[in-house]
Structure 1
Amino acid sequence: MSRRQGSPRNADVAAPTRRGRDYWLVESPGRDAVPGLRVHITGSAVAGAAYAVAAWQIGGMPPSTCLLASVLCVLAGVLPDLDSGDEESARESAGFAAAVLPLLMIHRFQQAGLSSEATVLAGASLYLAVRYGAAWLVSRYAAQRGMLHSLPAAAVAGQVAFLSFGAEEPLHRYYMASAVVLGFLIHLVLDEIWSVREGHFGPKFKTSFGTAMKFYGPEAWSNLLSYVLVVALGVLSATDAHWSEKSLPTRQYVRQQMEQAARSMPTTPAPWNYRR
């Protein structure tokens, strides 16, 4: 079937508006105005894998820790799309965050002395709170390319990862938090790269250029909330790091004593294992 005369070739690709002699500025986003979910996952996966290999080979990190850090980097690479307005991207981002966050909190739950049943209930409650509660709040109040696409949001994501991951070694916690920040920054960098096109007489900038790598947005309340979260989580992270490093020798001593006591216990078979 032939196209109707005068109809656009691609209806969802915005036509550029001419500004000056040889400069074009795209006023509205088209099909490739922003990188898709696959691009963000690929970019953060490559960065996370490289970061994991470097930490393993150079930093001496355990392979399991490096693998977890690469997974967190991929997760952080899709988090900013919670405010994209695309239901599929927002649903995938919220699902990833809701699934991983309770897993990071398992060690915290154990430190709090929760039983296995209470740990499962706490993890399920946290999943539901993030998957539906936090996702609904973001979709309801967050603006597209708002403060979720910003450098303060990257700091907030890293601090949340630091507080959630309760490792015995402090360096492992810093490594996990830095992997989350790396994945978040990869997302912002890809958004900025997609905001520039090659032109005949220089680059062509879209109206979305500069809306990802930013320190503040147009709304005062979102700026205030972002920096309040940065400061509050920063204080909590510093306090928690100080307490963890100060109590590390005591916790290591208690663990050694428990391991020695477990090894010294007689390994007698249970009565039902005796042969009649």
Structure 2
Amino acid sequence: MQTTLISNPSARHGRLDALRGLAIVWMAAFHFCFDLNYFGYFTPRQHFQLDPFWWVQRTCIVTLFLLCAGMGQAVALQSGQRWPRFWRRWAQVAGCAALVSIGSAMMFPTSWISFGVLHGIAVMLLIVRLLAPPLLARGSAGRAALAALALLALALPRLVHATFFDTRWTNWVGLVTRLPRTEDFVPVLPWLGVMLLGVLLADGLWRRRPEVLAGELPPAARPLAVLGTWSLSFYMLHQPVLIGAIRLYRWATTGQF
């Protein structure tokens, strides 16, 4: 019998929130370094898309975000979240994704973000919401099918490539022959596999170690949990704040804005 940890859709899981908070703090530190490099404060200039020190970090951050997103969906399903509440949250994510595209087009006209992490999460949330409930309801067989789909999603971009998927209108699928020139790119494949693994991870913890999700947080981790509850707002605000601070510092020290 499946363990029920929460009885209403609005309940929070502090440990999951703290993990999400850790992800956004890491992301903010990464973006701050990116911004400093963009404004010429790193010598020598860093190559974020080529240097393993940077792109491995970026991969880890996106992986942690999508694992948390998958676990969050498992929490929502377990709590009995209904479609209207799901659509409200989805609309927030999709709307913020559109704002990211607009803002990046103003700052990076030739490499604007057409399908970044928020775009990917918006599409993947729909897929997970449709796939996960009927498969998890089938017990072990359904969980095995979900795991197989996750592994397939992770493997397909290594096995299948086509130039059809190289345009901005189609590269969101992920079966590209070359990476697009953009400031952020999180296609459905392979990243859907990571979100599905997050669903399976939370489902498995509920059945075997429910205290991992529902247990008390140590005091030192509580600020991370607070950040994790406001992850979307933090995501949208941190870059304007960081870039604004750097521009103000540059104006104060050099007279250039």
Q: Which TM-score band (shorter chain)?
A: 0.3 to 0.5
**More strand by percentage:** 1
**More helix by percentage:** 2
Name the structure, 1 or 2, with higher relative contact order (CA <8 Å, separation 6+).
2
TM-score normalised according to structure 2 size: 0.32
